[in-house]
Amino acid sequence: MERKDVEKTGWAPLVRSLFSRRGFTTLIPMASAASRYGIVGEYVRREFSMKAFSAGLTNIGRKRDNNEDTFYVDDTIGLYIVADGMGGHRAGEVASRTVVSSIRDYMDAFSGSEEAQQMGTGEMSPASAAVCHSIELANRVVHQLSEDQGSYKGMGSTAAVAFLHGDTLVTANVGDSRIYLVRQEKIEQLTQDHTLLAEQMRKNPGFDPHFSTTPMKHILMRAVGIQETVQTDAYEMQPLSGDVVLMCSDGLTDMLSDHDVLQGILQGGTLDETCHRLVNLANERGGIDNITVVLVQFEKEEKGFLQKLFRSR
């Protein structure tokens, strides 16, 4: 879904006005941000040296009647979002679209505010704080819609966000939509799933996931909009030239192993071709849910656009 496909929520003017105010520091409290959001590492300001190129694709799958996934890509400001909605009577679609629109509006305002981009501490960068607060905004909007309209009661969504600021990539998530890093023909999951199964595995290292039931795997312990507040996991990393970041809904990872995903990426081709390849493979394996894939490739800015997107095998 391209930028023009996401309808404005009406929050953009409010968000931009907040960023223009002198009291911006109250919008992003830095003091306790690291412990609250799980930020790791120190923030170091660097010169912009990376360029991102992206592609995305969403598909209804083979079993569902409608598509509750929404994604957004914007190479201009380096913002990438995947949201997987939930709720009856098409409320899941409303939830995921609202999450994407709210995060987009907030990060648009951040990117347009020099004052906001210069504010940070040794614990947390302005970009990480902005991403976390954009998810908080989305949570408030979805929760309020759920409270105000009976047909939306109980709706919610996952959120996976990647934001390139200078040469630092901020990744954040709520729920089980994932973000992966592909580097030197290896794949690493950057996010943690917020499901009952994942929590049991983290608490009990000896827990065997093969004995778990399917519902346990899909019970979310965190989601955007379900409660009045939401806890976000966020991390920072420095992408290298040639790195590829994959963002996806669980419609992909329920059908494909990490190895399958990696092999699908390493086959080469353009980012768009690779998105289609992964979605088609998930559908071939059953396509039991909506499938969304976003791929972002990083290159040194001076190398330009005409780079081979993937190494041929």
Identify the pLDDT of residue 216. 65
Compute the distance between CA of residue 122 and CA of residue 63 in angstroms, rounded to an integer. 48
CB 158 within 8 Å of CB 175: yes
Whole-number pLDDT of residue 100? 98
Q: What is the pLDDT of residue 254?
A: 94
Count Cβ atoms within 10 A of the Cβ of residue 228 and give its class: 0-12 exposed, 13-18 middle, 19 or more buried: exposed
- Please write the tens of the pLDDT for every residue from 50-82: 899 999 999 999 999 999 999 999 999 999 999
Supply the DSSP symbol for 7.
P
Which pLDDT does position 90 carry in this prediction? 83
pLDDT for the residue 121: 53
pLDDT at 196: 84
pLDDT at 47: 47
pLDDT of residue 120: 58
pLDDT at residue 24, as a whole number: 35
- Supply the CATH classification number for the domain 7-303: 3.60.40.10
Domain coordinates of the chain in residue numbers? Answer: 7-303
Residue 2 has a pLDDT of 40
Please report the DSSP string for 269-310 in residue order: S-HHHHHHHHHHHHHHTT--S-EEEEEEEEEEGGG-S-S-SS
pLDDT at 46: 44
User: How many other C-beta atoms are found inside a 10 Å radius of the C-beta of residue 208?
Assistant: 8
Predicted pLDDT of residue 11: 53
Amino acid 272: pLDDT:
98
pLDDT of residue 199: 75
**H/E segment holding residue 168:** strand 168-174
Q: Which residue ranges in the chain fall short of pLDDT 70?
A: 1-48, 119-122, 207-216, 302-313
pLDDT of residue 214: 57
Say how far apart CA 140 and CA 142 lie, in whole Å: 6
